[in-house]
Amino acid sequence: MTTGPRTLPGVAPATTERTPLVQQHLPSGDISPRHRMSKSRSRVVRGLLAATVAAAGLSTALMSGAQAADNPYERGPAPSNSSIEASRGSYAVSQTSVSSLSVSGFGGGTIYYPTSTADGTFGAVAISPGFTAYQSSIAWLGPRLASQGFVVFTIDTNTTLDQPDSRGRQLLAALDYLTKTSSVRSRIDTTRLGVMGHSMGGGGTLEAAKSRTSLKAAIPLTGWNLDTTWPEVRTPTLIFGADGDTIAPVATHSEPFYQSLPSTLDKAYVELRGATHFTPNSSNTTIAKYSVSWLKRFIDNDTRYEQFLCPLPAVSLTVAESRGNCPHTS
């Protein structure tokens, strides 16, 4: 059961030389030939300036039109560090709940989506919680990502004990429901989909990407999976690890996940500093800014966000290490 939506490059100023009227040698009202030529030059300069302005405006308009034609999926204003770090993006967000009784293949969840349809359709992302957890553990990502221009589905799994392979199938079932049956299906571009997940949900994210190579982006958050090799993945993948993770230590999970991905794949690894396995369960600016950038870059093909991914994130108070292949080619 669902419930409804609650100058132009700098041109130097034209200068014209004016010749004083020598009235004592000219009849009243006459102007010297030199002055007439000066006025003529002034008119020519003004005409050229106006033509330059018009040409520049036309060029800008054509360029903007060409860019829009090159990427019809670009959504939202030009990004900045502050915009990708903000707790909310430029879109107002609505949400609707999905009961487990009304779906099959997963345990229901909550859909967050941009309220306005003025910009057309959006890409969509399904997000799975981890072992023994519910969608509430990853709920902060719903409105945060949706406000940047995505339809986001935070799901519950069939049981809280489901393993990564099952969670991967459930992520795909959630995307199928989202695009084929849900009340927001008309808002979604079915060719632009991605998956995310925490812990075993992160392991499930890799499973989903392996199974459905048409996915545009995958983001495991401190992922856990006994399978540590993923050479079959063809989806651009951003892996988050945590330097203090004792449940899915980076040395036995996130790092081998990353290393096993094809060398030709657009991929990245960000290790959070001072973080634990459960850091993704709370609002986190570092996770959000790079997740937004990754989803924008690969689901929306929005190269305006490449600047936040390449060069790779620098070591800082919140980033212990980063790896990746820059520039991206997808």
Tokens 């560090």 identify what position? 81
Q: What is the pLDDT of residues 163-187, one digit of tens each?
A: 999 999 999 999 999 999 999 999 9
Q: pLDDT tier at 41 (50, 70, 90 boundaries)?
A: low
CB atoms closer than 10 angstroms to residue 124:
29
Helix (H) or strand (E) holding 294: helix 285-298
Q: What is the pLDDT of residues 248-271, one digit of tens each?
A: 999 999 999 999 999 999 999 999
Residue 23 has pLDDT above 80, yes or no: no
Domain borders along the chain are 23-70, 81-324
Catalytic residues: 199, 245, 277
* Residues 114 and 148: beta-carbon distance below 8 Å: no
State pTM to two decimals: 0.80
- Between 98 and 74, where is the model more confident? 98
* Residues 82 and 89: beta-carbon distance below 8 Å: no
End-to-end CA distance of the chain: 38
Burial of 323 (0-12, 13-18, 19+ CB in 10 A): middle
Write down the CATH number for the domain with range 81-324. Answer: 3.40.50.1820
The pLDDT value given to residue 43: 54
Q: pLDDT tier at 69 (50, 70, 90 boundaries)?
A: low
Residue 13 has pLDDT above 60, yes or no: no
Q: What is the pLDDT of residues 94-153, one digit of tens each?
A: 999 999 999 999 999 999 999 999 999 999 999 999 999 999 999 999 999 999 999 999
How far, in Å, CA of 160 to CA of 145, rounded? Answer: 24
C-alpha to C-alpha distances, 19 to 12, 22, 25, 26, nearest whole angstrom: 22, 9, 14, 14
